[in-house]
């Protein structure tokens, strides 16, 4: 549990530095779910994932 929290903190700090709050949120959401494969197999969640990634790319590119 502690190791996972450290990973999230490290991940968040890295993406804060890269200037993308979308990706930070994305990683927090992913680590929140224990079964990542089940998370990705859900069609609605996959759509949200794609939208989040597109927003992240747009955020980095245009801002």
Examine the pLDDT at 18 and tell me if it is beyond 50.
Answer: yes
Q: Which domain holds residue 13?
A: 2-62
Where are the extended beta strands (E) located within 1-63?
A: none
pLDDT value for 37 = 59
What are the tokens at 16? 């804060």
Q: What is the structure's pLDDT at 56? A: 78
Integer angstrom CA distances of residue 9 from 13, 27, 40, 48, 54: 6, 10, 23, 23, 23
Q: CB atoms < 10 A from the CB of 61, how many?
A: 7
Give the total number of structural domains in the chain: 1
Interval 22-57: pLDDT, tens: 666 666 665 665 556 565 666 776 777 788 888 777
Question: What is the C-alpha separation between 13 and 49, in angstroms, rounded?
Answer: 21
Contact criterion met (CB below 8 Å) for 25 and 16: no
């Amino acid at each position: 549990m502690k190791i996972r929290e450290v990973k999230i903190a490290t991940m968040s700090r890295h993406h804060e530095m890269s200037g993308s709050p979308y990706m930070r949120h994305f990683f927090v959401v992913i680590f929140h779910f224990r079964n990542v494969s089940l998370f990705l197999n859900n069609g609605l969640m996959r759509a949200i994932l794609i939208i989040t990634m597109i927003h992240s790319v747009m955020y980095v590119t245009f801002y």
